[in-house]
Amino acid sequence: MSEGNLKWTVISFWLGGLLLIATSAVIYVWNVLNDVTAAAVLLGYVLTISSFFTYIGVDKSGKDERARKIGTMSAAWSWYITLSFAALVLAFDIWSGRQFETPRLLATIVFIMAVSMMVANVWYSRRGDVE
Amino acid sequence: MSHTKSTAKPSAIEKPLLALGVLLMIVSLCIICWQDAASLPAVVLLMAGTIVTTSVLYVYTGARAREDERIRKAIAFASLNSWLILLWMVTGLIFSIGIYGQTGMSTLRLATLVLLIMLAVFAGWYVYYMIKGDVE
């Protein structure tokens, strides 16, 4: 993969992630889920996933083994954190008797997924070795 | 001081514990989703399953390095696939609610369904990778 393409892949990944974080925060804080916020989430998803496939090696143009490992391990950690968080929220919701509204619940899940993914990405990138 | 990682072999109990934890979670979520209400036994089962599953996965996702590289890879790739499908599903739900309005489902049922799909996809891919042999 050329330097220019890799640069655009990284930009697209970060832009998509930040858009997902910002939009899910807006949906949660103002409890507003309309066609504009829905389109913004979809755009964030497309930007993140289109570059993410290069990271994890589905797109064969990405031959950077370390980037693939970072992508895979970050998604694994993000999945693990989302699973723990969602199960705890569900249990606390049930016991407290207070339930999330549907848009807020979905926005929280997207927020946790995007934030944990990006934090894990930065952490693995700075750490050096990825195992 | 030298920093060394634990490279202990996975104990014989870890693999069945992971299967048990995922099974407990799936069964309890099915009960909650089916009844659209959280009964005490179902919630207790869910919490027990969550504690067992997350504890075993914590070991395998690299918190403690294991010699069984194949299981670690199978779990990492199964989680990755489940993460991708979850993001696709939640984005699809947000988009459809934003465009077409509310779903007919209660929030409790929706939350259990999200967790259920997350776990079912993970379990499916994990079994697939373990049967397949090599994980790439």
- In tens, the pLDDT along B20-69 reads 999 999 998 898 888 888 788 888 888 899 889 888 887 776 555 555 67
Q: Does B76 touch chain A (CB under 8 A)?
A: yes
Q: Do A38 and B115 touch (CB under 8 A)?
A: no
Residues of A in contact with B95 (CB under 8 A): 38-39, 41-42
* Cα–Cα distance, A83 to B130 (Å, whole number): 22
Give me chain A's average pLDDT, please.
Answer: 81
Residue A111: what pLDDT? 92
- Work out the minimum CA distance from A117 to partner chain B, whole angstroms: 10
Residue B4: what pLDDT? 43
Helices H / strands E in chain B, number of each:
4, 0
Q: Does B91 touch chain A (CB under 8 A)?
A: yes
Give the predicted TM-score (pTM) of the model: 0.81
Greatest alpha-carbon span in chain B? 61
Inform me whether the pLDDT recorded for B8 exceeds 90. Answer: no
**How crowded is the C-beta side of B62, counted as CA atoms within 13 Å?**
17
Q: Do A49 and B62 touch (CB under 8 A)?
A: no
The DSSP secondary-structure symbol of B1 reads: -
| Among the partner residues A79, A89, A91, nearest to B83 by beta-carbon distance | A79
